[in-house]
Structure 1
Amino acid sequence: MTNWAQMYDCYGDVDRVPELLTMAERDDDAEAWDELGRRLVLECDLVFPASFAALPRLVRLASRSTRARGLAGAIVRCGAGGHGCDDLMEKCGGSISEFRALLDRHLRSRPDNYLVPFRDLIATDGQYHWGAVLGDFSDDFYQVACPHCAVDVTIAIGDHGRYSAIRDWNRGDMDRRGLKPATPEGLSGTGRWMYGTAVRDGETALADGIAHLFGRAECPRCASVFSIADEYGSSHHPSM
């Protein structure tokens, strides 16, 4: 049983969220959903005790409610933030696993907004850095440090090219070097799972972008070759 007297939302209230959840469950009230969103997730990606307290009920609604699925996904994506609710998040482990299975089934239906639940699915696996930054690879950029000479390298994966470069804010991307995408056989771990899910669901552009993101880049400064995902992940993967 949730002790809502301790579960404050972003306004410090402890009684409004359970009331709104009941309204949303009973009537699918649009105003109730809008207020829940404002109270449970701030625009700066902050979450609160009430956010995790609400998560199990949101997951139960997520199979039939787009709003519940989206709000549950937003809460899970914020799981790596400095919210001070790690104990509450840990208690939501069962709900997060249930949500992960639900999202996987939903993705198989190939929804129009595929990238949003795909990012939510990634977050349920604890890969918060990819869940936060992964784009549709039409115009994506990732900043990494070369592991050999420490220069800042821009990784571009989009319609305008797939390359590494040194970014000059006056002259643009300088000394571009083409990326070397990973082969399907060369992928492992998270990259293999992300790539396989996208391929399974016919998201060929997303899969190709993931192959490049988990491929290798050449440093324009020292010409050393390194794994893009390894360097980005080591810099951005949160310590939980």
Structure 2
Amino acid sequence: MTLLDEAAADPRSPAWDVVWNDTCDQGYANAGSERLLPWLARVCAGFTPADRERPLVLAGFVALDAPDRPGFADEITALRLLTRENLEAGASDARMYVYLQQALLGLDGDETWGRSLDLLSDGEADVACPHCDGEHLISLDPADSPVVPALTVPLAARLHREALAAGFSEVAASVPLLFGRVDCPSCGAVFDVAGALTR
């Protein structure tokens, strides 16, 4: 039995750890990993929603870095539908909820949030002030964040609304901070946190 056969046969198999390690490095898919998309689509379709959470997260990274996304359009569409289904059914916890939203954005080809939305789970964002280039670690914890929250971007409003509907109020509270504005601790200029991340 091959490694992929072992993973496909059991969502809790240690083979999944090997598949992840061979496929992704620090949130970036290795060259050639897009060949896994048809396999991931088949496997995820056969798993229960709870069992396919982690494979869907992997699929988001793979799809985001696929050099020929149109060539895998059917698989990406199928994986996107499964990810949306999982989000509507309810993620296993708040962290996985964020990862699934990130996977959805990766499947959509969003270069920034398909890789960085998990900052919501990290509780902080490392950003450079666009005015003075000073590097700062900004807290996204509602209890102690210096950020003035905002939901003016359509994506932010959607993420906030869906997190509340899903019952993840802690995620919903962090979304406006990720898309809010903050005073630079170095130069005092006000800048947009999300904008600094997308520079």
State the TM-score, normalizing by the size of structure 2.
0.76
**Quick one: percent identity of the two aligned structures?**
25
232, 236, 239: which one pairs with 2:197?
232
Unpaired segments of 5 or more residues in structure 1?
A: 1-15, 164-178, 235-240
Match of 1:168 in 2: none
Q: 1:69 to 1:128 in 2, by over 3 A?
A: farther
1:134-172 Cα offsets, whole Å, 9 max, x none, are: 347576222222223333333111266102xxxxxxxxx
The alignment yields a C-alpha RMSD, in angstroms, of 3.1
Q: 1:158 to 1:195 in 2, by over 3 A?
A: same
Q: What is the DSSP-based 3-state SS (H/G/I as helix, E as strand, rest coil) of the residue aligned with 1:155?
A: strand
Cα distance between partner residues in 2 of 1:157 and 1:35: 32
1:152-191 → structure 2 map (5 Å cutoff): 152-158=135-141, 161-163=144-146, 179-183=147-151, 187-191=152-156
Rg bigger for which structure? 1
Q: Does 1:129 align with 2:94?
A: no
Cα distance between partner residues in 2 of 1:23 and 1:73: 19
Cα distance between partner residues in 1 of 2:172 and 2:153: 14
Match of 1:8 in 2: none
Q: Is contact 1:138–1:158 with CA below 8 Å preserved after alignment?
A: no
Q: One-letter code of the match for 1:211?
A: P
Cα distance between partner residues in 1 of 2:190 and 2:27: 35
Match of 1:93 in 2: 73
176, 192, 216: which one pairs with 2:181?
216
Q: 1:109 to 1:136 in 2, by over 3 A?
A: farther
Q: One-letter code of the match for 1:76?
A: G
77, 92, 109: which one pairs with 2:61?
77
How big is the shift at 1:123?
A: 1.7
How big is the shift at 1:209?
A: 0.4
Q: One-letter code of the match for 2:72?
A: C
Q: Does 1:201 align with 2:163?
A: no
How big is the shift at 1:22?
A: 4.8
Q: State the aligned residue count.
A: 193
Greater fraction strand: 1
